[in-house]
Structure 1
Amino acid sequence: MIEVEVKAHAPNLDEIEEKLVQIGALKLREEYQEDLYFNAPHRDFAQTDEALRIRKTRSGNSEDTYITYKGAKMDEVSKTRKEIEVAVEDPLKVGDIFQNLSFRPVATVRKNRTIYTLGELIITLDEVQGVGNFVEIEKETEEGEDTEEALSEIFATYSKIGIKEGFERSSYLELMGIH
């Protein structure tokens, strides 16, 4: 699966939320996410532009954990990349497995996230501890599929909610000063 994603700075998430409702976006849920990122023993993910993380999410009484691998960015305007994700039962054991294989923890990113949908788009409003507020709009495509149409739809949606600048290709880790 290819995740076509564009992120933008968003100083006022309340205003963005109002605009999302006006254009017909549906609120799915609010959740807290804690992402523990790892670096590989055989290559530097900061150099290869890859990411490996364990994500714990809490929404209401529900808690889920996922391992996610993200490949290098595929273009110069977005955060489009290959993404592979799988649910896991025990984040501590997964972390222990990674460390026994010489993967080392690099940093933890914590955020409050509000998730909306608009057609096939997933729109998230993120309050990232120590980094700031952001809007991410993404659409999943299949490998080999042209991503230009998805990017056009994403940028058109940004325009509808009043965001025309402040786009950010850096990851939250990079914005935290961790490379």
Structure 2
Amino acid sequence: MIEAELKARVREPAVVRERLGRMAVGRDEVYRDAYFDTPGADLEAGDRELRLRTVDGPDGTRALLTYKEARVDEVSGSKPEYETGVGDPAAVRVMLNGLGYTETLAFEKHCRNYEFTAYGRPMLATLVRVPEIDGTYVEVETQVSGERELRGALGDVRAVLDALGVGEGDLTAELYTDAVRQRRTRES
């Protein structure tokens, strides 16, 4: 599956939150993301990601292991993504370390998630704040089975962003991982 996603900086978080609230009921969750790579940073060099995420929300805590391949669309940063639930995150950490992967970065994301259907597609819109980064972001995504469907899906995602009042100039392909690393580098 390919995650057809667009991300944007939000100029007016209260307005976007209110508009999303008309589309679906929001769910507050905190993501604790840990990224893993080889000692030689082979995954990062290949534009790939390996992430262990723990999600704390109103329904309890769950964990997910995610592998993202290299981007298939440079403008949006959309990537093929493979994700599965994890019953014991501590055991997965041990397995990853045993396979030669080490944790290279960890940070929190404070999210409000909205799930709805738009243009015949299941959509997930997330308002995101990363405590180490200034500002609020919105991510809107849907899943497609192949690259041929990506352009249409991104058009539908863009239409949702338009409905939220998010302009083309607010879009960004910057990764949270890069922004957190830059912030930490400036502070050290």
User: Which residue pairs with 1:160 in the alignment?
Assistant: 163
User: Which residue pairs with 1:137 in the alignment?
Assistant: 140
Question: Deviation per CA, 1:26-46, whole angstroms, max 9, x where unpaired?
Answer: 024111110000012565222
Question: Deviation per CA, 1:130-176, whole angstroms, max 9, x where unpaired?
Answer: 02321000010113542111111111111111111221112110111
Question: Quick one: which amino acid aligns to residue 15 of structure 1?
Answer: V
Q: Where in structure 2 are the equivalents of 1:1-179 lying within 5 Å?
A: 1-21=1-21, 24-41=22-39, 44-60=42-58, 62-119=60-117, 120-132=122-134, 133-164=136-167, 165-177=169-181
> Which of 82-91 and 144-153 deviates more?
144-153
- Stretches of structure 1 lacking an aligned partner (at least 5 in a row): none
Give the TM-score normalised by the residue count of structure 2.
0.87
User: Which residue pairs with 2:186 in the alignment?
Assistant: none
- Stretches of structure 2 lacking an aligned partner (at least 5 in a row): 183-188
Offset at residue 61 of structure 1 (A): 5.0
How many residues in Structure 1 have an aligned counterpart in Structure 2? 177
User: Which residue pairs with 2:185 in the alignment?
Assistant: none
CA contact (8 A) 2:72 2:147 kept: no
Question: Quick one: which amino acid aligns to residue 71 of structure 2?
Answer: K
Give the TM-score normalised by the residue count of structure 1.
0.91
- Identity, in percent, stands at 27
Change in 2 beyond 3 A, CA 1:129/1:107: same
CA RMSD of aligned residues (A): 1.8
CA contact (8 A) 1:110 1:128 kept: yes
